[in-house]
Amino acid sequence: METRLPIDELVSKVLSELERLNYAYNTICGYRAFYKRVIAFAKEKNEIYFTEVLGREFLKEKYECTIDYYKETMPQGNKDHIRRIRVLGDYQLHGVIIRRIVKKKGYVKPPQFEKELVAYEKECENNEYSKRGMRTRMQRLFFFIDYLDSRNVQKSNDITPAIISDYVKTIYKNHEKVLHLF
């Protein structure tokens, strides 16, 4: 996406996207309250735009969170704060909110990729992967498919190296194991 938005506008777009994605009302209220603090912090620092550096400084000053959240395990008390900062970064970079947890009981395959997902699932079964291994592979693939769907990719032939690269940029620091899927 590459276009930087002023932090107020970025937050507004993120909150609208959370609503569009049907996040729970209370969850959105939590994001809204948190982002008000981020905006106030940015104004204190005379920053117009959100950056990863600003996000880390905010977490450090306001929550004493000094970990590199892409490389280290997130402390339980800071997971929500870190997630909210990462959502701003993902949206600033790619214009989408990347779901990190699939809460759907039975994953609903986007129709444009159902054939490929079913074929991959069958391939996993043919290779006699364990149920747990297959579930892990499928969940990682679901994250990617959801990303493609959010970018309005309509068929597998529309997937470009740039789209894959953008997706990998959002996850590689945090999920090095998934790189072998690409």
* Residues 18/27, Cβ–Cβ less than 8 Å: yes
Q: List Cβ neighbours of 129 (8 Å cut-off, separation of 6 or more).
A: 137
Greater model confidence, 138 or 87: 87
What pLDDT is stored for residue 57 in this prediction? 93
Residues whose CB falls within 8 Å of the CB of residue 44, separated by 6 or more in sequence, listed in order: none
Of the pLDDT bands very low, low, confident and very high (cuts 50, 70, 90), residue 88 is very high
Of residues 48 and 78, more confidence is placed in 48
pLDDT score at 182: 46
Q: What is the pLDDT of residue 179?
A: 45
Q: What is the pLDDT of residue 68?
A: 66
pLDDT tens for 103-150 read 545 667 778 888 888 888 888 888 888 878 888 888 888 888 888 888
pLDDT band at 84 (very low <50, low <70, confident <90, very high): very high
What are the pLDDT digits (tens) for 5-34?
Answer: 899 999 999 999 998 888 888 889 999 999
pLDDT for 99 beyond 70: no
CA 129 to chain centre: 27
Confidence bin at 1 (pLDDT 50/70/90): very low
More confidently predicted of 2 and 11: 11
Q: What is the pLDDT of residue 173?
A: 55
What gap in Å lies between CA 154 and CA 80, rounded to an integer? 32
Tokens linked to 79: 């997971």
- Greater pLDDT, 1 or 107: 107
Other Cβ atoms closer than 10 A to 95: 16
- pLDDT at res. 72: 61
> Any idea where the domains of the chain sit in the sequence?
7-94, 111-181
Describe the crossing of helices 114-126 and 131-150 by its angle, rounded to 10 degrees: 160
Beta carbons within 8 Å of 169's beta carbon, 6+ residues apart = 93, 94
- Helices marked H in the chain: 7-20, 25-44, 52-63, 79-94, 114-126, 131-150, 161-171
